[in-house]
């Protein structure tokens, strides 16, 4: 659930195609009730677009990049071509998580006989600010219990209800991330340095796979995408620092495993 009235320039949003015209399309911003945007034909796809309907259809859900917002004129310009396939998948996954979490929070509000909008601002927003999203907050509540509320001003009745709900309804599933690494040393002790470089992820319990010189893959599993990404980024930064310090070449590409 979005608490802002308008999206921000540069934000990636979920849109539903409402109307298709020869020169573009109108789309409803699903996360911003009552807001519509326009996608010019030049922003439909990276390739040449002869027939818009070959790329989009009425009712289709897509992730779109917000190019311009003018509230005073009720104008929102959107782009589909500026959203990569990876960004598209990530945004759709995040939106589905958000929808699922909002439905859960509605159920909790009904049980406590609390107004959803008021409770969202007072209870859900602090949890989202702390954990990144509401589902991640519920997952942490299940894992950590009372500790998950430390530093947060959440009333006791809400803490008890959130713990009860999380215990009954939240299943912790592992998230996997991987990074394909290109790693080379043009020195006589290159093999020794490569072994030392890969001791960094191995110490963190990450799997290291040999793909084919100079390419290697490291893989991590965690309770959430955010946790996995943070740990993977930390390892990659440490490896890059070691490799460049020793005169090697290092590059990587991340992907969901």
Q: For residue 125, what is the domain's CATH number? A: 1.10.150.190
Strands 175-184 and 61-70: what pairing? Answer: unpaired
Q: Which position has the token pair 């599993």?
A: 221
- Residue range 205-220: mean pLDDT, rounded: 84
Measured in degrees and rounded to the nearest 5, phi and psi for residue 69 equal -135, 125
pLDDT at 44: 96
DSSP state for residue 152 in the 8-state scheme:
-
Of 251 and 227, the one with more pLDDT: 251
Enclosing domain of residue 135: 86-169
Burial label for 123, CB within 10 Å (0-12, 13-18, 19+), is: buried
The pLDDT value recorded for residue 256 is 53
Tell me if 6 is assigned to some domain: no
Tally of structural domains, the chain: 3
Residues 6+ apart with CB under 8 A from 88: 62, 63
Cα 169 from Cα 245, distance rounded (Å):
48
**Boundary (domain end) residue, out of 143, 169, 195:** 169
Q: What are 120-158's pLDDT values in tens digits?
A: 999 999 999 998 889 989 988 998 899 999 999 999 999
Residue finishing a domain among 63, 83, 103: 83
Would you state the torsion angle of the CA atoms of residues 154, 159, 165, 170, taken in this order, to the nearest 10 degrees? 70
Same domain, 78 and 90: no
Dihedral class, residue 145 (left if φ above 0, else alpha if ψ from -120 to 50, else beta): left
pTM of the model: 0.62
State yes or no: pLDDT of 226 exceeds 80.
no
Structural tokens at position 233: 């980024």
Q: Which of 68, 83, 98 is the last residue of a domain?
A: 83
Q: Is residue 109 part of a domain?
A: yes
What angle (nearest 5°) sits at the alpha carbon of residue 106, between those of residues 102 and 107? Answer: 120
Asked if residue 7 is part of any domain, the answer here is no
CATH of the domain at 79: 2.40.50.140
Is residue 4 in a domain?
A: no
For residues 50 and 103, membership in a common domain is answered with no
Together in a domain, 23 and 54 = yes
């Amino acid at each position: 659930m979005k608490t802002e009235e308008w999206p921000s320039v540069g934000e990636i949003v979920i849109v539903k195609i409402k109307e298709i015209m020869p020169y573009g399309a109108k789309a409803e911003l699903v996360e911003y009730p009552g807001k519509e945007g326009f996608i010019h034909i030049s922003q439909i796809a990276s390739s040449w677009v002869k027939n818009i309907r070959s790329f989009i259809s009425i009712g289709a859900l897509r992730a779109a990049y917000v190019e311009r917002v003018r509230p005073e004129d009720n104008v929102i310009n959107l782009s589909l071509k500026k959203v990569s396939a990876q960004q598209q998948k990530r945004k759709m996954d995040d939106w589905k998580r958000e929808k699922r979490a909002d439905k859960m929070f509605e159920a909790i509000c009904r049980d406590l006989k609390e107004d959803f909008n008021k409770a969202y601002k007072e209870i859900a927003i602090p949890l989202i600010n702390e954990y990144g999203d509401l589902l991640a907050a519920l997952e942490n509540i299940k894992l950590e219990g009372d500790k998950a509320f430390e530093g947060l001003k959440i009333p006791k009745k809400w803490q008890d209800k959130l713990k009860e709900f999380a215990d009954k309804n939240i299943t912790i599933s592992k998230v996997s991330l991987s990074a394909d690494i290109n790693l080379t040393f043009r020195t006589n002790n290159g093999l020794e340095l490569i072994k030392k470089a890969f001791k960094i992820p191995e110490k963190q319990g990450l799997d290291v796979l040999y793909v084919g010189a100079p390419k290697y893959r490291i893989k991590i599993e965690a309770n959430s995408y955010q946790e996995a990404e943070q740990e993977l980024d930390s390892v990659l930064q440490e490896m890059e620092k070691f490799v460049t310090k020793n005169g090697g070449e290092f590059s990587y590409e991340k992907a969901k495993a």
